Amino acid sequence: IPVSVKMRLGNEDMDLALDNALGVQEAGAAWLTVHGRTKRQGYRPPAYWDRIGAIRERVTLPVIANGEIWTLEDARRCQAESGCQDMMLGRGAVANPLLTREVAGGEPAGWPEVLAVLRDFGADIVGTGSEAQLCGRVKQWLSYSRRRWPEAGPLMESVKRETRLADLRAILGRDSGGNNAGQVVSF
Ligand SMILES: Cc1cc2nc3c(=O)[nH]c(=O)nc-3n(C[C@H](O)[C@H](O)[C@H](O)COP(=O)(O)O)c2cc1C
């Protein structure tokens, strides 16, 4: 069973990043994912992809770069600065669940396609938590989507006070996303 490790560049500072990575390697991890920020830096941009590269150069296990990849352009810059072929997407994959396809060379997604994924998610989670938790998950996703899709803004406004998943899903189902007329929107 391959065991992998994920780490930040550090807690307060980055001084121990390489030592920690070497320790992970020595312990036999199959690969190492590095979020290019310290804990103190939280989620504030930038992510220091070059620092991930400095680690990659000194270890032999595969290193996966993570942090602040929101677009295809970010992904290409991250690859160039870190020298890592492989990346882990966090919030970027929530804002655009089809970003991996684009990064892998496929078609960029449009909002109707993304909205369809969000609707499927709303259907898939039925029965997996309290109404408040489930509504929270859909709203959290929609909220991240606003960063990439202007269409998500008005939709967020219309669902933000909903406390029942069925009502929330009905609103998502009603929204045609602009140009996806003819698409099945009920679930
Ligand atoms: C919805 C969500 C769930 C996450 N869950 C985990 C987790 O279980 N373990 C973990 O190490 N990091 C988790 N993260 C952090 C991400 O793996 C990633 O390190 C962080 O978001 C930075 O990448 P980003 O700038 O692409 O978002 C999560 C992030 C998000 C947005």
Q: Confirm or reject: Cβ of 147 under 6 Å from ligand 1.
A: no
3-state helix, strand, coil in the chain (%, to 5): 45, 10, 45
Closest CA to 85 of 73, 76, 94, 98: 76
pLDDT digits (tens, 9 = 90+) for 58-94: 999 999 999 999 999 999 999 999 999 999 999 999 9
CA atoms of 122 and 142, how far apart (whole Å): 11
**What are the start-end ranges of the E strands in 57-186?**
63-66, 87-88
CB 33 within 8 A of CB 4: yes
Q: In this structure, which residue's CA is closest to atom 6 in ligand 1? A: 90
Summarised one tens digit per residue, pLDDT across range 88-135 is 999 999 999 999 999 999 999 999 999 999 999 999 999 999 999 999
Distance 90 CA to ligand 1 centre (A): 5
68 lines ligand 1 (CB under 6 A): yes
Q: Please tell me if the CB atom of residue 6 comes closer than 6 angstroms to any atom of ligand 1.
A: yes
pLDDT bracket for residue 185 (50, 70, 90)? very low
Q: CB burial class (10 A; 0-12, 13-18, 19+) of residue 170? A: middle
User: For residue 6, which atom of ligand 1 is closest to its CA?
Assistant: 11
Please give the C-alpha separations between residue 121 and each of 28, 55, 96, 156, in angstroms, as whole numbers. 36, 37, 13, 16
Calpha distance 29→77 (Å, rounded): 26
Residue 67 Cβ inside 6 Å of ligand 1? The answer reads: yes
User: Ligand 1 centre and the CA of 67: distance in Å?
Assistant: 9
Q: Residue 161: which pLDDT band, with cuts at 50, 70 and 90?
A: very high
For residue 155, report the distance from its CA to the centre of ligand 1, in Å: 24
Tell me the domains of the chain and their CATH numbers.
5-88 (3.20.20.70), 111-174 (1.20.225)
Kind and range of the H or E run holding 38: strand 32-38
Q: What are phi and psi of 126, to 5 degrees?
A: -55, 130
C-alpha dist (Å) from residue 157 to 64, 133, 137, 152, 167: 36, 18, 15, 9, 14
- Residue 89 Cβ < 6 Å to ligand 1: yes
